[in-house]
Structure 1
């Protein structure tokens, strides 16, 4: 499916993969492997940003994936996110959606919010918030409507 369909149909917290369809180069070609990994990978869908205007320029809608955290001894020193325009040529797939009953911890209210944590339930989300400083955080429970499979052009967006 396209990035536009991910933006339109897939809920935050879903595991999304993307690919350009090319085969992985041999490991001995480090630069080619790095370039390939930039266009083939996956992560957790953490943000959907609507189209915006900056002066006379229009920026298309985009999605952002959380690809990983790096650090040691429980301290995260680097978070890796990757943003994709809905107009790009990559092929996306939603591999896993958040379970019904899980709770999304969003950094703020509104359509432009970003997923900062996915908790198993409301109590776990509230406990996580007490240990992490997000004063404007919003909790949103995942319902059956949120994870429903939507039929698109005779296919399912799963």
Structure 2
């Protein structure tokens, strides 16, 4: 699917795979493999942003995928997130949608909403929120309407 379909169809918390269609190079070609891994991977959809027009610039609609946290001893040192515009030449695929009963911990950032955590249930979400200490975060239940939206406006989700 295209990047614009991800914006239109995929709910926050979906697991999205992206690829450029090139075959994976052998491990002995470390630079080529690193370049391939930057254009082929999986991430959780954490933010959708509409187009923005400012006096000095215009940005197209985009979305952000959270690819992982890296750290040691329970302390996160680096968070990897990648943002893709609707003009991206990559191919995207929804691997997994949030399930009914799961709860999103979200926070408003400007006019947008950002996913902070996807919990299995409300109790787990409240526990995570108490430990994480986000003061402006709120909980959102994943609804059946959202999960069942495989076709929107005649556009099919992959």
Gaps of 5+ in 1: none
User: C-alpha displacement at 1:125, in angstroms?
Assistant: 1.0
Moved more, 25-34 or 6-15: 25-34
Cα offset, 1:120, TM superposition: 1.1
How many Å apart are 1:109 and its aligned residue?
Answer: 7.3
1:96–1:84 Cα change, 3 Å: same
Match of 1:104 in 2: 104
SS in 2 for 1:107: strand
Deviation at 1:121, TM superposition (A): 1.2
SS in 2 for 1:6: helix
Separation in structure 2 between the aligned mates of residue 155 and residue 52 of structure 1, nearest angstrom:
24
Partner of 2:137: 137
SS at 1:55's partner residue? coil
Aligned length: 158
Q: Is the 8 A contact 1:108 1:136 kept in 2?
A: yes
Judge conservation of contact 2:9–2:152 (CA < 8 Å) in 1: no
TM-score by length of 1: 0.93
Matched, 1:114 2:114: yes
Tell me how large the CA RMSD over aligned residues is: 1.8
CA distance in 1, matches of 2:83, 2:135: 25
Task: Map Cα deviations across residues 60-79 of structure 1 (whole Å, 9 max, x no partner).
Answer: 01111010110111111111
Residue 51 in structure 1 maps to residue 48 in structure 2 = no
Could you tell me which runs of 5 or more consecutive residues in structure 2 were left unpaired when the two chains were aligned: none
What TM-score, normalized by structure 2, do the two folds share?
0.93
Q: Who is 1:4 aligned against? A: 4
User: 2: distance between equivalents of 1:77 and 1:150?
Assistant: 36
1:154 Cα deviation after fit: 6.8
Given that 1:109 and 1:138 are in contact with CA atoms closer than 8 Å, whether structure 2 keeps it comes out as no
